[in-house]
Amino acid sequence: MSADLTHIDTWLFDLDNTLYPVESGFMGEIEARMTAFVQKVTGLERDAAYALQKSYLAEHGLTLRGLMLNHGVDPKDFHALFHDLSLDALAHDPELVAALERLPGRRLIFTNADAVHAERVMARLGLTELFDDVFHIGSFGFVPKPDPAAFERMNAEHSIDPATTAFFEDSERNLAPAAALGMTTVLVGPHAPASTAPFVHHRVEKLAPFLRDARVREAA
């Protein structure tokens, strides 16, 4: 059965591995550059740097946050690593574009990436004109999802009513604070069907068919 989203008027989307499939492999290059940066900052060998990278991700929700707190890294230096990434792995998806276009109300991006990365990826995917705003990591003071403070800032900035908001994410734990606020949560990706988290309301392997088939309110 299609999902009943007739109560939703604000559509909140994560960016990476949500608005394009994880199978693209795009995040692999991001991770590789991140590991090399951690090596440079810490002097660790690659395996140890990768382990520290993942440790910071687990502890802080974002590798950058751990690097800022423990090594004084300037976020501008960190984000510059990704501004020249090839976007060849990302493909325009007409089915996703059509599915997003049918959604009534506001469409927003909520990402732990920076503004430049978000703009480049959205332009490559042909999604720029479909979204009203991008709430990026700089917008919430480099305090990343899943920290509730990030959600509080976003809600205040955009006057979001959680009861009429759906949040789409590939990271299960980032959905927990959204559900606690009263948002409808959607876990996206090949791992989604296996999720048993009570705060995940919908689990979808492919985003476009879910949005295409969902019941939404009629446009005013």
What is the pTM (predicted TM-score) of this model? 0.94
What string of DSSP letters covers 180-193?
HHT-EEEEESTTGG
Mark whether 48 and 67 lie in a shared domain.
yes
pLDDT along the chain (220 residues), means of 10: 95 98 95 96 97 95 94 95 96 97 97 96 98 94 94 95 98 98 98 98 98 88
- Shared domain for 78 and 100, answered yes or no, is no
Same domain, 97 and 196: yes
70 and 145 belong to one structural domain: no
| Whether residue 169 is found in the same domain as residue 123 | yes
Same domain, 103 and 193: yes
Q: Are residues 205 and 142 in the same domain?
A: yes
Q: What pLDDT, on the 0 to 100 scale, is given for residue 79?
A: 94
Specify the pLDDT at position 58.
Answer: 92
Look up the CATH number of the domain holding residue 212.
3.40.50.1000
Say if residue 202 is in the same domain as residue 97: yes
Q: Is 191 left (phi over 0), alpha (psi -120 to 50) or beta?
A: alpha
pLDDT score, position 219: 66
Measured CA to CA, the distance from residue 206 to residue 36 in angstroms comes to 32
CA 195 – CA 210 distance, rounded (Å)? 17
Domain extent for 36:
26-82
Q: Same structural domain for residues 168 and 104?
A: yes
133 and 100 share one domain: yes
Residues 149 and 101 in one domain: yes
The predicted pLDDT at position 137 comes to 94
pLDDT on residue 140: 86
pLDDT at position 1: 74
Instruction: Show which of 82, 106, 122 is a domain's final residue.
Output: 82
Task: Note the pLDDT of residue 106.
Answer: 97
Question: In this structure, are 114 and 186 located in the same domain?
Answer: yes
- Of 65, 82, 99, the one marking the end of a domain is 82
